[in-house]
Amino acid sequence: MNENLHTLRCFGCGARIAGQEASPDFRCAQCGDLFEVEYAGWGQRQGHNRPNPGALKWLWRERRCSSEALDQSGVWRFRELLPILDNFGNAVSLLEGNTPLYKLKRAAKALGIDQLFAKHQGMNPTGSFKDTGMTAALSVARERGFEWVACASTGNTSAAMAAYAARAGLRSLVLIPEGKIAWGKLSQAMDYGAVTCQLKSDFDGCVRVLTQIVKESPIYLLNSVNPYRLEGQKTPAFEIAEAFDWTVPDHLIVPGGNLANSSALGKGFRELRELGLVARMPRISVIQAEGANPLARSFAENNGERMEPVEAHTRATAIRIGNPASWRKAARTIKETGGWCLDVSEAEIAIAKAELGTEGLGCEPASAVTLAGLKKLRAQGKVTPSETVVLLLTGHTLKDADYTINFHRGTLLGDDEVAGHQAEIAALQRNAVVVDATPSAVLAALKGLAG
Ligand code: F0G
């Protein structure tokens, strides 16, 4: 029904192929670059395939009250803008998306910004934004008859893939860097029945091994080089635009790892604009960790034209990636929207995460780079007080509870990292205290705090 609506267009050389013709590693046979999903007729104002903006806005809102499973998904609710399946009955859903948009009052006040929000993608079924992409790409795998799916991951992709594969009755293979992912994520892959291989390598090494495997076996690759992942991951852009009544915020700030998510959100806003649902795109900025910052370096050195891989080190393990696959797509989004790409230090990440905590919002360290980045942008005068800013929080705080506990115990950061931030950190630390099991001991502890 829908297959004829989409083609894959190479981001590098512009070659177009049918979805079924993609090679197992989703690289262009001509130039080796990545593909993007493209829909015929959307570009032309009178095209017969061009959806009607007013009708769509009404339909998507109506679906929020529907009892149909597909309508209750915050991804498939927007299915007119992701016609990637022959039959939507093949969609594998855990009722992902429809995540909350929270107002951040304390951080806004501290930064002197009127309107600051957090779109919390960690509130998805497996606790990260990956669910929105996984429901899309895994549904394609099921429709195309694959029995096995696989990914290399820093943890969240593998948790999402394992869950959706289990729902669909498919087998899943996970390659993760040994000792470098948070326990919460590893436990999820195990629980959802994935075959989990911990490789004595980093994320980039896991990608290299998996790329060989999928070329030799009938296993469907679910890393974000798979362009269908991005079709699901663009839908938070639709939710954000809808929440702002089809105006868009001035600025969206996104963490950067393998750099697919920033480009997916850019694609989402670009399509809304092309279809006449919104008038403009927000500025989209990408924030990396200082020790895993190849794109930030590239922007500083050559305005995002060339990127040198780095050996990645950061406690924000989700974004511990030195050779991001989708960097060209992300660079386009940043330049097209007038955004920036910056990096932030380990201490800045930890402080920002704890500050979000004081507003009742938990998130993964990788998500907290957004607030840390906003602080830098504000200090550099790149964000003005009247702008509406949205931070994209990508993962749930319980994914990496060790990180949080170590921060509050004072064992997370080294002395050199803490230097210059001691007072800020001390004011945020809330270590648990051990006291006798008597009311007076607890009350004494309270007095101690008050003092
Ligand atoms: N935040 C979290 C919590 C992540 O898990 C990731 C990526 C990112 C941000 C960065 O997104 O790669 O699209 O730039 N995690 C991947 C994984 C790589 O395997 O779970 P990106």
Residue nearest to atom 19 of ligand 1 (CA): 153
How far, in Å, is the centroid of ligand 1 from the Cα of 75? 18
> Could you tell me which residues come within 8 angstroms of residue 88 by beta carbon, excluding any fewer than 6 positions away?
2, 70, 76, 79
Nearest atom of ligand 1 to the alpha carbon of 151 = 19
User: Among 158, 207, 224, 319, which residue has the most ligand 1 atoms within 8 Å of its CB, making it the best to mutate?
Assistant: 319
Give percent above pLDDT 70 in the chain: 98
Instruction: Report phi then psi at 158, rounded to 5.
Output: -65, -40
Cβ(234)–Cβ(74) below 8 Å: no
pLDDT at 447 over 60: yes
Q: Which residues line ligand 1 (CB under 6 A)?
A: 128, 130, 153-157, 224, 255-261, 318-319, 364, 366-367, 394-395
pLDDT digits (tens, 9 = 90+) for 256-295: 999 999 999 999 999 999 999 999 999 999 999 999 999 9
Cβ(389)–Cβ(111) below 8 Å: no
Nearest atom of ligand 1 to the alpha carbon of 258 = 12
How many beta carbons lie within 10 A of that of residue 207, not counting itself? 22
User: Residue 1: its pLDDT value, please?
Assistant: 45
Nearest atom of ligand 1 to the alpha carbon of 261 = 13
How far, in Å, is the centroid of ligand 1 from the Cα of 156? 7
Q: Is the pTM of this model over 0.95?
A: yes
Nearest atom of ligand 1 to the alpha carbon of 223 = 19
How far, in Å, is the centroid of ligand 1 from the Cα of 128? 9
How far, in Å, is the centroid of ligand 1 from the Cα of 218? 25
User: Residue 3: its pLDDT value, please?
Assistant: 46
User: Residue 89: its pLDDT value, please?
Assistant: 96
Compute the distance between CA of residue 316 and CA of residue 374 in angstroms, rounded to an integer.
17
Residue nearest to atom 11 of ligand 1 (CA): 257
pLDDT at 76 over 50: yes
User: Residue 291: its pLDDT value, please?
Assistant: 98
* Bridge partners (DSSP) listed for residue 27: 34
Cβ(247)–Cβ(280) below 8 Å: no
pLDDT digits (tens, 9 = 90+) for 382-409: 999 999 999 999 999 999 999 999 999 9
pLDDT digits (tens, 9 = 90+) for 196-253: 999 999 999 999 999 999 999 999 999 999 999 999 999 999 999 999 999 999 999 9
User: Among 129, 258, 341, which residue has the most ligand 1 atoms within 8 Å of its CB, making it the best to mutate?
Assistant: 258
User: Among 134, 156, 329, which residue has the most ligand 1 atoms within 8 Å of its CB, making it the best to mutate?
Assistant: 156
User: Among 130, 267, 356, 370, which residue has the most ligand 1 atoms within 8 Å of its CB, making it the best to mutate?
Assistant: 130
Average pLDDT over residues 415-420: 96
Higher local confidence (pLDDT), 22 or 42: 22
Average pLDDT over residues 306-320: 97
Residue nearest to atom 10 of ligand 1 (CA): 257
How far, in Å, is the centroid of ligand 1 from the Cα of 371? 16
User: Residue 450: its pLDDT value, please?
Assistant: 55
CA atoms within 13 A on the CB side of 391: 31
> First-to-last CA distance in the chain?
69
Higher local confidence (pLDDT), 64 or 45: 64
User: Residue 51: its pLDDT value, please?
Assistant: 81
Q: Tokens 């932030």 — which residue?
A: 344
pLDDT at 451 over 50: no
Compute the distance between CA of residue 435 and CA of residue 451 in angstroms, rounded to an integer.
17
Nearest to 325 by CA among 256, 271, 267, 268: 256
Nearest atom of ligand 1 to the alpha carbon of 224 = 13
How far, in Å, is the centroid of ligand 1 from the Cα of 257? 5
User: Residue 448: its pLDDT value, please?
Assistant: 74
pLDDT at 44 over 80: no
Average pLDDT over residues 370-385: 98
